Amino acid sequence: MVKALSAAERPARRSPTIYQVAERAGVSIATVSRVHRRAEAVAAPTRRRVERAIADLSYRPNRLGRSLARGRHDAIGIVFPDLSGPYFSTVILGYEEASATRGRSVLILGTHGRPDTQRQVLDLADRVDGLVVMGRTIGDEPIEELGRRGVPVVVLARPPVQLADSVRTANGSSAELLVGHLLEHGHREIAFIGDPAGSSDAGERWDGFLAAHRDAGVSPAFEPMISAFREVEGREAAARLLAGARRPTAIVGANDEIALGAMDAARAKGIRVPEELAITGWDDIPMTRHVSPALTTVRQPMLDLGRRAAALLDERITTNRTEPRHDVLPTELVVRSSCGCNPPTNRKEE
């Protein structure tokens, strides 16, 4: 009686190698490689013989082997401070989509404020053909060092860094437009919730906040109320602000999650939005149009941020371009009900 082997007992099936294809076709492994790349230098009869051997053996080239032969990894990296929230996930989606169309894998590193971030980023740089660095995850010096080592780098949502390409959105001008809109409505007690020192985006939005006040000839009523870019921190910051002796008539959230948290804090204190408190955000994440009242915000092209970063990085890798490029994508003021306006209007800034 013949005993059937279990799956664990059966010998593992090995994938056919390029050497087996070459032996079957009677050619060198270099010829097999050229045929697989569809090089024109291979004569037609030889090409057909190799193609038959490839089909007969169901051969697929080893990705790692091809990468080593070309001196490339066929992978690119992206470094983010935090992987939570709709903003980060949408930017990453755009980056992955654009990278996939170019045949590149994406390695994602979320730093989450860990103390060894710089070492992690430098380690990742050794495993990819290029890097996108989001925000202030690491300082300028290690990015410049990567550039001197010949590693293509694109910084995203951050001011330009020497030797690196950059992609960001129009922050200052749109923030000035947004705050000017509130000032035109008679608001003089306007508070900003965010962290200008901790984020380039928040810093530029705070600069626009100040510029709008200067243009109107008034002084800001509050210093920034520090908050991370998450809803829970926005709720806590707004609660502290609304519990103070001097209560704002308008809150400008550095992003939509902060603004949504501020709405919750106002609701918990029985403060009506927008009748007693105007609230605005930034990003135009999908939820903002469905809350009540719908959130006035600044729409930025989050998918396009990721796509553009991938395109610039691919260009640096494939063309060996060394002169940095700096792209600024337009943003758009989206006026809804949370600032006291109805019907909504949109205004674009570049």
Query: 121 CB contacts (<8 Å, ≥6 apart)?
Result: 79, 109, 111, 131, 133, 137, 138, 142
**What pLDDT shows up at residue 348?**
56
**What pLDDT shows up at residue 345?**
56
Alpha-carbon span 294 to 346, nearest angstrom = 14
**What pLDDT shows up at residue 347?**
59
| 16 prior amide bond cis, ω within 30 | no
Among the listed residues 223, 230, 228, 222, the one whose alpha carbon sits nearest the alpha carbon of residue 249:
222
Q: How does strand 346-349 pair with strand 331-334? A: antiparallel
**What pLDDT shows up at residue 144?**
92
DSSP state, residue 154: E
pLDDT along the chain (350 residues), means of 10: 46 66 83 66 83 83 49 78 84 92 88 84 89 91 90 94 95 97 97 95 97 97 96 97 95 98 98 97 95 96 96 91 92 96 60
* Paired tokens of 52: 């038959």
Neighbours of 320 (CB within 10 A): 9
Partners of 279 in beta bridges: 251
- The full set of domain ranges for the chain reads 18-61, 74-169+302-329, 172-299+333-349
Domains 18-61 and 74-169+302-329 share a fold: no
What's the Cα-to-Cα distance from 52 to each of 20, 29, 36, 225, rounded to whole Å?
13, 15, 12, 69
Instruction: Looking at the structure, give the CATH architecture of the domain made up of residues 18-61.
Output: Orthogonal Bundle (1.10)
Write out the CATH class of domain 172-299+333-349: alpha beta
**What pLDDT shows up at residue 84?**
75
Q: Which fold has domain 74-169+302-329?
A: Rossmann fold (3.40.50)
The tens digit of pLDDT for each residue in 122-135 reads 888 888 999 999 98
